Structure 1
Amino acid sequence: MDHNSKLTSSELGVLWNAYMQNTAVNCIVKHFHKVNEDKSADYLLKTALSNIQFAIEGSKQIFEAEKVPVPLGFNEGDVNLDAPRLYSDIFALRYIKYMSAFGTTTAAISLELSTRADVRNYFTKIVGSLSSQFNVASELLLQKGVYIRPPIIPVPEQVEYVEQETFLSGLLGRHRPINAVELSHISKNLETNSIGRTFILGFSQIAQSPEVKEYFTRGKEIGENHEEVFREILLKDDLPLPSAWDSTISKTTSPAFSDKLMMFHTGTLNATSVASYGASIGGSLRKDLGAQYMQLLKEVLEFSDDGAKIMIKNTWMEQPPQAPDRVAIRS
């Protein structure tokens, strides 16, 4: 006996988000593919476009079957495929790797929030395809010698237990050396801020609205400041700094993307930073690191809130499905 239940609120939310995110990323990867000159990356870019199309069509089919309005998302009106190159081919590779990791994590969380078999199968396939895509992108970066590796520390000689509360460190004074778990979060946050800063710098160059251009310039400065914080932590522990991410940006001012798309994607980058900083707070036992993350998180949230106001002002923010307003119904 088939049990065709209605979509739950969680399923509505994750499917809506999948559609919006993938229609946005589709525009960006199409631009990367159009200007790509690296033949070794051509297969990866085509694979990425195929995976994105599967995600878009899969969520759309479920919405249509359930008589749920399909979101508008983003389309050919938000990307100019005739626009000249904005970013380098190496940066495009790093973007694919970064968004593959983000997409895998998001799809895994969405899978956990899904009940119906068709929705679970949809996200299960996305997890598999994006995991594979991440590995291909990583291998390409390694082959080209441009993969940014986290710092290496000596391997412990034996298993040890923490014996003193000073392991937690205070907010002031001398701190114990950073541990491998804390270091992994710092490395990840350096990557997130580096790719975000480069993206937003390019966005600021081609944005059409003065207000949007100013917003992106502010975001670039925030990214630079956050990178400096993490680099300073590594320097204080005499750890090697990772190589700088490729941030080659052309001189073009021709808009490859609409202001609406760039603002939405910046919101996505903000969300990844918020999630990453939250995980870092939970994974850092040194109190000074937790306090530092809280301050950085506050900055990102304020920046994200201002971005949302700009999108609402310009009628660029599409509203997710929401629960009925019972107060309005009763009045």
Structure 2
Amino acid sequence: MRKNIRLTSPELSALWTQYMNDSMSICVFKHALKNVEDKDVYSIIVYALSLSQNHIVQLEKFFKQENYPIPIGFTEEDVNLEAPALFSDIFYLQYLYVMALHGMNGYSLSTGTAIRNDQRKYFVQCSKDTMKLFDQVMDTMLKKGVFIRPPFINPPHDVDFVTKQNYLTGWFGKRRPMNGIEIGNIYYNMQKNIVKIVLEIGFSQVTQTKELRQYFQRGAQICNKHTEIFGSIFAEEYLPSPKNWTTEITNSTVPPFSDKLMLFHIESLVAVAVGYYGAALSVCQRRDLITHYGRLMMEMGKYAEDGVNLLIKHGWFEQPPITDDRNELAKKK
């Protein structure tokens, strides 16, 4: 019996989600390799592509072992390798940086919910490989001088304890300076929003569907507004904000990817962003920041819901692993 233990629902869902994301990444990286000229960036994308391709091979083995249908995901039909570059070489570094961050967090969660030994080993290895990719991206960005470090804070003269309730004050009364945890969360959420803005502007430029163009433009406006709010919070305390990358979009109007892939890509990033906002909210200790995150999460959540509805409308929403509908099965008798 031990040799035939089935995958649990979290294990199966983790594999399914990874298959969708890696099949999408293969399309993105293949197109990038056709246009990237910087040798350092090229070698990193080659490594990232090899990771995604190896993942797909192993994932298909897992699905076959479980007699579970292999997802369709994304194929050669979803990428136009002849399309000119949509983004610059330097932007791909920032893109890979953010995607590696998502990957490390995702694999960590998948490892924590895996029970079977083969699943734990697999996701631990995925984490190691992604950490290596992250190191390569970070080293290259620092070498090229294109990474803007998060704000610094000076060490205190001594250990201190909070003695007044106004430590939590936000809207009324004197606001305390942000602590390092709050600064870090705002900074990294800004980094991720900035990448989404570039993708949404670029995708709105090449999509052939008016409905999707409007959706991408709306997303860019939302992310830009969120970035401005976070930036204004930093500005109040004379802290620097991350670099804006919108100048790294080319003037191409030829779609390198299918509408299905572009919509899925944005939708998946928005869904992750809602989670990051929630994580940041959970450790905030200033009321105004808590209120900001709560309000922005609702706006991002509504945008994500509208994106899912578009996927469903166009028949592009591949159903994730789902439990049996017992009531429906009973009707068939």
- TM norm structure 1: 0.97
CA–CA distance in structure 2, aligned partners of residues 77 and 241 of structure 1: 39
- Give the alignment's Cα RMSD to 1 decimal: 1.2
Q: How far 1:2 moved relative to its partner?
A: 5.1
Note if 1:237 corresponds to 2:248. Answer: no
Q: How far 1:178 moved relative to its partner?
A: 0.7
Q: How far 1:104 moved relative to its partner?
A: 1.1
| AA in 2 matched with 1:98 | V
CA displacement 1:172-215 (0-9 Å, x = unmatched): 34311111110000101110110100011000000111100110
CA–CA distance in structure 2, aligned partners of residues 186 and 88 of structure 1: 26
- Contact conserved, 2:25 with 2:49, CA < 8 A, in 1? no
SS for the counterpart of 1:20 is helix
Deviation larger for 230-239 or 78-87: 230-239
SS for the counterpart of 1:37 is coil
Partner of 1:176: 176
Partner of 2:63: 63
- Contact conserved, 1:148 with 1:243, CA < 8 A, in 2? yes
Q: How far 1:44 moved relative to its partner?
A: 0.9
CA–CA distance in structure 1, aligned partners of residues 170 and 243 of structure 2: 30
- Segments of structure 1 that go 5 or more residues without pairing to the other structure are none
CA–CA distance in structure 2, aligned partners of residues 224 and 30 of structure 1: 29
Partner of 2:151: 151
| AA in 1 matched with 2:121 | N
- Contact conserved, 1:36 with 1:89, CA < 8 A, in 2? yes
CA displacement 1:149-179 (0-9 Å, x = unmatched): 1111212222111111110114334311111
Deviation larger for 321-330 or 280-289: 321-330
Deviation larger for 56-65 or 244-253: 244-253
**What aligned pairs does 1:120-199 form with structure 2 within 5 A after superposition?**
120-199=120-199
Partner of 1:318: 318
Q: How far 1:329 moved relative to its partner?
A: 2.0
Partner of 1:54: 54
| AA in 2 matched with 1:308 | V
- Contact conserved, 2:41 with 2:92, CA < 8 A, in 1? no
Partner of 1:35: 35
| AA in 2 matched with 1:34 | K
Aligned residues: percent identity?
A: 38
Partner of 1:280: 280
Note if 1:295 corresponds to 2:295. Answer: yes
- TM norm structure 2: 0.97
- Contact conserved, 1:148 with 1:245, CA < 8 A, in 2? no
Partner of 2:308: 308
Partner of 2:223: 223
Deviation larger for 148-157 or 84-93: 148-157
**What aligned pairs does 1:113-124 form with structure 2 within 5 A after superposition?**
113-124=113-124
Deviation larger for 115-124 or 261-270: 115-124
Compared with structure 1, are the counterparts of its residues 247 and 275 closer, same or farther at alpha carbon in structure 2 (3 Å cutoff)? farther
- Equivalent residues, number: 331
- Contact conserved, 2:191 with 2:242, CA < 8 A, in 1? no
Partner of 1:112: 112
CA–CA distance in structure 2, aligned partners of residues 81 and 101 of structure 1: 26
| AA in 1 matched with 2:189 | N
Partner of 1:24: 24
Note if 1:214 corresponds to 2:214. Answer: yes
Deviation larger for 231-240 or 166-175: 166-175
CA displacement 1:45-81 (0-9 Å, x = unmatched): 1110111112111111100111100000001100101
CA–CA distance in structure 1, aligned partners of residues 193 and 123 of structure 2: 27
CA displacement 1:248-288 (0-9 Å, x = unmatched): 11111101000000010001110221111011101210011
Partner of 2:248: 248
- Contact conserved, 1:20 with 1:73, CA < 8 A, in 2? yes
